[in-house]
Amino acid sequence: MAELVTLNQLKARLGIPEIDHQRDDSLKGALGAAQAAVVERTRFDETGGTRVSICQHIRLTRPFNLPFRPVTSITSVSARRYGQTENTTLVHDLIDANDGKLVLIGVVEPIWPYPAYYGQVYRQPYWKRQLEPIWEIVQVTYETEQLTADNADPRLADAIINLAAFWHHRGAANALNNASADGAQEGYSAMPFPPWVTSQLLGLGAVEGATWV
């Protein structure tokens, strides 16, 4: 995990001197829990590389967000409906690589009785597409860029500090200020988000009601 915020940065926000190490374990726990929560909700990929995501209930021409970003390339997109065993290859368009926003355009295979469309992308008329069942299971194979301190959005660090500071203040009432770093991180992870941090995360592209599994 890349260190997006240092312990001394959090201490500065809380007004704690750098030479004061009495609460370091608790602060490290709050910081670790806050970074994990913020990165998870904003979908940035801390490892990078090849990802295979299964998304559910996707309709043609309706954009949806992949669970990891930023996306550097899409390798393949296929789909099937419940009860089917074979996947259908889908033509797609990566609308926003940084946000990981993808849209399905149509199928590659011909759809009977339209043999003239063989080898071409088949797009149904708009009125008929609205009646077409959605694709229940969509598999997307893609590449992502690893999140590092160098390429991270500066707003991520601000959200992490705000959340860690809030949790640290709340931790005093839950005896977390005297816990070990690992114990404190586990305890902080169960705490709620303050509204101002939630607003920050939405501004960073956090997605509510995600459709992936």
% of the chain beyond a pLDDT of 90: 42
User: Is pLDDT larger for residue 107 or for residue 14?
Assistant: 14
One domain, residues 58 and 135: yes
Total domains in the chain come to 2
One domain, residues 71 and 117: yes
One domain, residues 154 and 136: no
Asked which of 129, 144, 159 is the last residue of a domain, the reply is 144
Asked which of 144, 167, 186 is the last residue of a domain, the reply is 144
Asked if pLDDT for residue 110 goes beyond 60, the answer is no
Average pLDDT of the chain to the nearest whole number: 81
pLDDT of res. 43: 93
pTM of the model: 0.76
The per-residue pLDDT for range 124-149, each reduced to its tens digit, is 554 444 445 588 899 999 999 999 98
Give residue 18's domain range: 7-44+148-203
One domain, residues 61 and 128: yes
In the chain, beta strands by DSSP E: 49-58, 64-65, 71-80, 88-96, 101-107, 135-144
Chain centre distance of CA 126: 31
One domain, residues 71 and 122: yes
On whether residue 213 sits in a domain, the answer given is no
183-198 per-residue burial string, b: 16 or more CB within 10 A, e: under 16: ebbebbeebebeeebb
